[in-house]
Structure formats: structure tokens, C-alpha cells
Structure 1
Amino acid sequence: MSNLVYKLNPMPPKLPQDKLDRLAKLETATIGHFYHYGFAAPAIQPVLPGKVVAATVTTLAIPGLDSTLLHHCLSDVGPGYFMAVDRLGDTKYACWGGGVTRMASLMKLSGACVDGPHTDTAEVIEQDFPMWSRGPSPVTTRLYDTGGGFNVPVSIGGAAVLPGYAVLADESGVLFIAPEDLDEVLALGEEKTEKGRINEAKISDGTYLGEMSGASAMVQARSQK
């Protein structure tokens, strides 16, 4: 039987919850100081403010006008998973709307992002569902049965993503982390967060940012030449 139309792979194992709990205490912007992989394009923004999700990624790739596979595979997801939807280059047709949000909420999906638009913003807000997209669109997909892939390699805002990756999504954007990088990212992120707290306290106490960062010394050294 050919799998050229629908590529259906099993759900990836969940990442250890203790690591995801640690990840949820970090910020994507903090990790962005030292990690350069897996950041989705800034155009992919939160639909709801104040949401933070750290979870295991399940992936989906569906073509422009067709959301058949999305409707089908929502029955396979559940708590602890974050669905990353690759729209295969389409930025016009919204595959994710009120009905999909309601089903995702009932399945207790931790959150989702679409590399494309969503629709029915009011219903996403009503369901209080953590959602990231490229913005709203009134033009929606249909059930054309043209195909797609579930738990396949995808591209989300230029980031290469595999099922089973970790995700951290917050108000600054969406970051995907390969499992083999997660321990080091957590350690460096926690160290960077603590240093940030110390530096914030110094600034509040009157230390100038340029003095603390060394930028003022660099400018002064150049100015004296």
C-alpha cells in the first residue's frame, strides 16, 4: 500500500516532565542569547498574550487548501503534546479555527503553532487555548482528501523540526529544541536567567548598563585613538 498520499507515523515518546518543567521557567529570549537553532520566524506570534508552553512536539504537514489530516489526527494527540503544523508554504488559508480549537482543547493538547494563519480568533480566546500563528485570515481550508504527513519532519518558520523535539513557546515566539541539546540548553538557560536577575538588581541600584556590560569601556577605548 502506497504512503505517498498520507504518511502516518506513531506519536513520539514524551520528554521527561521534570525537564519540561525546568524549560517552562525559562524564556525564549534568554535562550536566544546562546542557542542559534530551532527558532521559528518572528512572524509566528501568540494569538493569546501571557501563554507559556513547554511540551513534546508532534508534527503535521498539510497542503494549502486541505485540512483533512488535521481533523483526523487530532484524535491521536493528548496532554503534554504541542502540535506544530507545517503549511507547506501556504500563508493564505487558515487550517486552524474554532472547531479545531475545541477538539484540541477536549483532547487536552498543550498548545499548537501553525506556520500560516489561523481563523476564529474569538473562539481561540473563548477556549483559552495556547496558539501561535502568522496572524488571522478569513479564508479557510476544506476537506479535499489530498494528503499530508503526521509526525514527519517539518519546517516551522524556517526551523527544522522533528517529532519528539521539545518546544518552548511564549510571548517572544516559538523555539524547538532537539532532545540531545536539551540538557545543555537547560543548564545554560538557568545560569543565564540567574545572571540576569543579578544584573537587573544592579541596574535598579544605579549601575549603568554600559558600565556593567563593558560597552562603555569599548566606546571610550575607541574614542581615545
Structure 2
Amino acid sequence: MSGIELGTLPARCDLALLATLCEAEPATIGHFHDLGFLHRRIRTVAGTRRTAGVAVTVRCEGNDGSILHHALGQLRPGDFLVVDRAGDEAVACLGGASALAAQLRGAAGVVVDGCVTDIDELRQIGLPVWACGLSARTTRSGGAAGSFCRPVQCGGVQVSAGDLVLADENGILIMSPHEARGLAERAIEMQRAEQSTLGRLRAGESYPAILGTALRGEEVQA
């Protein structure tokens, strides 16, 4: 792609829904749902809390980081910056100053399908950041390519502005707005039910006996 494509910011998300999402663990949703999980190569590099937000998408190409700077000036509280690096695995597009800019705008987090830099600063700032790795090479201001709030690819998943993002140290899940509440509420119910399972394990029951998952022909031991 060449040139700049500018879309419009998505609608804000109800803060109560974002709070509900933060009660759900992505790994719990992964027990019953398979779509929208970013590839495991994208990992937490800074900030460890679970967070949820509205996807604001950026395609940032090669050495030209101007479109990301534009996005940082548009972020609102509760937005989650999702950055498609168009296959670049060598040049970092986000560092300490840009992470601070996102944090001060109220961003819920940032995910980069590529590299970031200034790891010590990122950790000190505390904004949740996910990326594929670190690099000392960085983008420059070109202003000639990229997209903002247009569909992107991140971690093997197509992400549109306005999708909802739920992320923690185990991984990142992208959900459409209409499915997010149902997924979160089902996960929260499972997490509450799991407390009973944990209690039974501590009381001495076996895991397959509790779950009813013995192999065929196997006698279940209590």
C-alpha cells in the first residue's frame, strides 16, 4: 500500500462493558471459543494487568512512523491501539515517549505486531504493551504511508476499528461488539464455578472424577 488512508474513530464503548470484560480471562474464553486470538508470538513486554478497550487500528509501514504519531494524538480513554507493522520485524515503532503519550490520552493498552523499544521506560510507564520483540532501530517521520482506523492484520487476525480487545499475560482476544458481552459473561460464570472445583481438589478428589473426563474403560478414582 502507498499513501495515507484515514478512517474515522469508532464509537466509544460503554465503560461498564469494559469493566465486565476485565473480569473475564482470555484463557477462560479459550475453553469454549476459538476465533480472534492473536498469535502467541505477540507477548507482554510491559504492564501486567488485564485490560480491555476499543480497537483503534493503525497500519504503520517500514521506517515511516508518522501515521502512528497521528493515532497517538487521536486516542481517547478506553481506546486500545492495535498496530499492524505490515510484515516489518526489524524496526521498532513504539518507545518510551510514544507509550507515555498513549497513557496520558487514557489508552487501555497497545499491541504491536512487530517490534518496540525503550523496554526500561515502557516498564516504568506501566502502560500494558504487547509486541513480538525489541529493536534498537526505530521509525522516522515520513508522512507518506499507512492507515488509521481502517481494517488491519495483527497476529493473524483481521481487526477493525471498533472491535473490542481483551488482553492479559496469557494472550489477546479480538471480539466484535455484539459478541463481547456474551463471551465475557459465560467466562465469568465458568471462573466462579471453578472455585468449587478448586475446593474439591484441595479436599482430595481427583481431577477426572470432578470433571467426569475419565478415559473410556477407565475406572475413575475418587
| TM class, shorter-length | over 0.9
Number of the residue aligned with 1:115: 113
**Residues in 2 aligned to 1:153 and 1:202: alpha-carbon distance in whole angstroms:** 46
- Larger helix share, 1 or 2: 1
1:11 pairs, out of 9, 13, 18, with 9
Which runs of at least 4 in structure 1 moved beyond 6 Å after TM superposition? none
Q: Distance in 2 between matches of 1:47 and 1:154?
A: 21
Equivalent residue pairs, number? 219
Q: Which aligned pairs between 1:90-169 and structure 2 lie closer than 5 A?
A: 90-169=88-167
Q: Confirm or deny: 8 A CA contact 1:44 1:133 kept in the other structure.
A: yes
Report the TM-score when normalising by structure 1.
0.92
Give unmatched runs, 5+ long, in structure 2: none
The CA deviation at 1:119 is 0.5
Secondary structure, counterpart of 1:99 in structure 2: helix
Q: Show structure 1 runs of 5+ residues with no match.
A: none
Contact 2:21 2:181 survives alignment (8 Å): no
SS of structure 2 residue aligned to 1:24: helix
Q: CA deviation at 1:48?
A: 2.5
One-letter amino acid of the structure 2 residue matched with residue 121 of structure 1: I
Per-residue deviation, 1:96: 0.6
- 2:52 and 2:94 map into 1 onto residues whose CA distance is 20
SS where residue 102 of structure 1 aligns?
helix
- CA shift at 1:32, angstroms? 0.5
Where 1:58 maps in the other structure, the secondary structure is strand
| Structure 1 partner of 2:65 | 67
CA distance, structure 2, for counterparts of residue 20 and residue 160 of structure 1: 21
Q: CA RMSD in A?
A: 1.7
1:159-203 Cα distance to aligned partner (Å, 9 max, x none): 111111111110101111111211321232122212222211111
CA offsets per residue over residues 82-128 of structure 1, 9 Å max, x none? 10000011111110111211211222212101001110001111211
**Structure 2 residue aligned with 1:178:** 176
Q: TM-score, normalised by structure 2?
A: 0.93
Q: Measure how far apart 1:219 and its partner are.
A: 5.8
Following superposition, the deviation at residue 37 of structure 1 comes to 1.2
* 2:78 match: 80
Segment drifting more, 120-129 vs 101-110? 101-110
- Which has the larger displacement, 46-55 or 23-32? 46-55
Which shows bigger deviation, 162-171 or 4-13? 4-13
